[in-house]
Structure 1
Amino acid sequence: MSSSPRLDDRASSTEPAEAQVQTHLGKGSRVEGKLTFEGSVRIDGQVDGEVQAQETVIVGESAVVSAQIIANTIIIKGKVSGDITARKRVELKAPAKLLGNIITPSLVIQEGVVFEGHCSMGSEAKADKPDKKVALFSKEDRGPVAVRMSSEAIK
């Protein structure tokens, strides 16, 4: 029996979405425009415009993205300025900084994340319609919300 980990063991030690990335925009890359991907993509560089993926979009810690993002799953660890729409799930992981609105049926925000915007959660059908206007609660109807604000949030 070998003491080295099996391929299956190594894959399970990382996030499933990260193990299946088909496209990678590396650190130091800069792209402008509309980007469309059939599978999953990891962004570690700079993107300005729009990003669409059939599967997962991962924004790495070194990434600076100023774009609308639409995908099944969106995982953010870097800086994003723009609205995001996920048909399944959004994960904001420290040290993520998001300045924009979220539409998704499932949302996870880790401690240490900076998020400034509105979040609308509902069914997948609702997430498929990012252009639909969302009725906001009046200030009196909303409960207290704790969001860490920082002048360093998005630069």
Structure 2
Amino acid sequence: MAVQRMDNVGIVVDDMDAAVAFFEELGMELEGRSQVEGLFADQCTGLDGVRCDIAMLRTPDGHGRLELSEYHNPTAISDGPRERPHNVLGTHRVMFAVDDLGDTVARLRPHGGELVGEIARFEDSYLLCYLRGPAGVIVGLAEELRPGA
């Protein structure tokens, strides 16, 4: 049996409202928020006494989804500094295609978005950058360049 689709990417955050605002500013649409707890949550996560808030956001095209989780029990664990470099094993990033990279970065700055490096140009194909988002997650942004840009 083959994979049908990638359903979502999950990110654990410590401030749900701020994280939702960040990704909404990026252009994602909030599908809903809920609290998860009970035996199924414990069984699925391998944790005891799970109680967390979740928010599901989707990309405007409807094909990509992001699930944010804020754990109240057990308390979320920080495995080190949030400002880890991009090449640390297990570090993840989420990449989004945007139509105006400079404008997107400017809109995310008031929501805590900080460039990891700088905006870079890959040949005549893309403008790319990584920035830190909620809970230190690295968010990649890519703007496809049109011929002659």
Q: Which one has the bigger strand percentage?
A: 1
- Structure with higher helix content: 2
- Using the size of structure 2 for normalisation, the TM-score is 0.24
